[in-house]
Structure 1
Amino acid sequence: MDSISPSQPLEQYSLQLGAEGCLVLPVALQKQLNLKEGDRFILIVEADKTLRLVSLHEQVQKLQGLFKDIAPDVSLADELIQERRQQARRESDL
């Protein structure tokens, strides 16, 4: 079976940059991914300048799984969430 490389997307959507830099995801995609108003995301700029949008919730869950054996008494997810909240506060103060 052929594996899918990152350069071969499963789906593509056309988005438009709106007022104040807002991007609106199509409703069908929001439903498919179970996204709700207020959900947080991480935007990753790849070396080739492509953008990757990752759900903060999903990223936290992945990190919890990766590091659960390394630091069993430390919640890296909580630390990440705290960092993101601090970053958001700094950005809103600008």
Structure 2
Amino acid sequence: MSAIAIQVSQGGRIVIPADIRQKMGISIGDEVLLTWQEGSQELRIATRKQRLQRARQLVQQHVKPKVSLVDELMRERQQAAADE
């Protein structure tokens, strides 16, 4: 990881350098998500697409290959309804 020094301008604005925007896939008008990490005192920036991709990766760590979560949920709901 490398650090880049940028200045905060009027109104608390910062400019994300073009090469970083390109690497992140950020275009003009895109919304980005800022997360404050209390423990490390760091501000993190990500796109919604990156967050969604990360969430999918986390879910895949706990799902068996070729398993449909929708089918599993439907089975669980049908079983719960039958048990009532």
Structure 1 length normalisation: TM-score?
0.51
Give 2:69's aligned residue: 72
Is 1:51 matched with 2:53?
no
Identity %: 17
Determine if contact 2:31/2:48 at 8 Å carries over to the other structure.
yes
Give the counterpart of 1:39 among 27, 30, 38.
Answer: 30
Structure 1 Cα separation of the partners of residues 6 and 45 of structure 2:
13
> Alpha-carbon deviation of 1:48?
2.8
Structure 2 Cα separation of the partners of residues 52 and 38 of structure 1:
19
Is 1:20 matched with 2:11?
yes
Give 1:78's aligned residue: none
Structure 2 Cα separation of the partners of residues 33 and 48 of structure 1:
22
Is 1:29 matched with 2:26?
no
> Alpha-carbon deviation of 1:58?
0.3
Determine if contact 2:34/2:44 at 8 Å carries over to the other structure.
yes
| Bigger Rg over Cα | 2
Paired residues in the alignment total: 63
For residues 36-72 of structure 1, give each alpha carbon's deviation from its aligned partner in whole angstroms, at most 9, with x where no partner exists. 1122222222213122212221001221333364x93
Structure having the higher helix fraction is: 2
SS at match of 2:69: coil
Determine if contact 2:24/2:47 at 8 Å carries over to the other structure.
no
Is 1:60 matched with 2:65?
no
> Alpha-carbon deviation of 1:24?
0.7
Alpha-carbon RMSD across the aligned residues, in angstroms, is 2.3
Give 2:74's aligned residue: none
Structure 1 gaps of 5+ residues are 1-9, 74-94
